[in-house]
Structure 1
């Protein structure tokens, strides 16, 4: 078994610095450490983590190790891995299989190497670990007792597997927890997407027309921040309820083909493929900027872009220019991958503190369930008591107190 697959162990000091910074801004994980470290609830438990490998994820891994887990860590996107952070984890005794800029073959080899540690529990982001277990590494399935999924795309994949009776173990849909999608998807994606776009382009947002495809929780956050930055915002949706909500939130709503003629900047955040294709690209303005905030690099059809281009050049780091036959130029950010991570540092530390607290507490819930015979294979919601605990810890960390119901009020609310 290979011990590690990283770029350069000598990068560890820079990674340590990043981890030290986020550790001071993740108070919920610090409270979980303080509460559970002595009891070592993960002692002897093997856990595989496949999440965007940057400093916040590293602190999640270090917290799990502090609670006794035996870890193997990889990334969930070839361009979001930070090599200095990977080196810092290896230096601290955690096996890591990931490096920035991995080819597709290298990326899946890293996933496979992580799974060779025969994990009992999985923290997945996008569903690639779970998919690999059920397709090419089925011999490792008997070792897995359950896991958690971080993001919308991964939960969609899990539900499809469960409906087809293919999912072999219980998975908790952390993405669907209130303390995840209400904050991580909305405020995390909303801020970090614009962080990535602005640091990459160094262009003003105010006065531009921004087209946001998808008005789920991530799209809501991206649109809200665009409005706050002074942009005119157009929403494209396929769900009539979400489209109506966008309209009543004050945005212009129209089909993508109409919006294609108007946008200066296009942000796709749907989780679906081919949101923008050659038909749309043919209508876009010269200089239009394309940024993906969905999990996989399939929302902008890159094959169509390449076929339409007479030349493809690097306009700037993380900006690819597609020169079209009619003289127009379209700019794709971060190779069409997650712009907030491939061209930025991802969500703010305080936001990931919420999500990663849910991950740890959900794994503890799975371990507790084992004592009662375990959960059947399937997709499960995060228990409400965990959601409320994480929210309460976040309020405490911010110095906020709230009211509590009296016993008489509880009786009133429970009566008819």
Structure 2
């Protein structure tokens, strides 16, 4: 047995990529900090009840489970840090006003997903608690765009939906839980024949509205069409107005927008606007987000909440190759002036690798393209001449 092999879809991150991920992680956390988002570090392990409370069946399936040897209770390795942030807001901080939190860390999932197709994404995100208005949704979406731009991603596209459109149609028709789940699955795949078959027993207005949902995807004109073909319930009217507001706000930041009213990602978890970020050269969504006001109630303290998260490993894996961060090689010498020169270069952020002995070093393996040489009574950085 080759005991150096890792489990399937679990990978080491090698130096060049690891450095790039860490640089971007720090950059994003600094961006969140100047926008007022406080950094938290939730634990890797929690009791299952806490990890998946209010988060839906999908998160339960995605969570690795272990038995706590101290208590015998079932524990889980976190598969998503968002519920943990909600727990921290509800129970540990206990603020009455708005709370802004951010986080960055590895999560573990039972099946690979995301851009990197890994079971160990590096999740980084921001969450805003305590404000139910559209202004907090817009703040989160603007922060997401700034985060992607900071990573170096251009031509950002946000795709929006609102779970209350489907939720209102279901609620007014007294649809049972099984039919609701079947309709959800059919709408996710935009299977209009399946929707037609499932809605035969529903009233005509609801049936037509659900059929229209499979077609209500596209640019901003979709919102006007939706207001014409969907029932004018208070929930649907408010949802369409909210989507119009975020569209206008995002348009000012240079990102393009679209709408897909049959997109119900996280339907049993989210409670309002949901969105996904896309960009050129990426095969799937870079980031996911939305409003999830009901989760705090599951922790015993109802709080409005909205936020987003992304897998930094996945985003970096699809970026163009970065220029190599080359180093300076310093020879063996007891000269105090050399020590001072090395210290000065490192204070400037330059990488200096000191020789351990007088043997020739492999500058290629050390990733060195410059050396320190002594001439004119001093130590100077000299480019390596390669054959």
Alignment TM-score > 0.5, same fold: no
- Whose strand fraction is larger, Structure 1's or Structure 2's? 2
- Whose helix fraction is larger, Structure 1's or Structure 2's? 1
**TM superposition score normalised by structure 1:** 0.27
**TM superposition score normalised by structure 2:** 0.28
Q: Find the structure with the greater CA-based Rg.
A: 2
Q: Which has the higher contact order (CA 8 A, sep 6+)?
A: 2
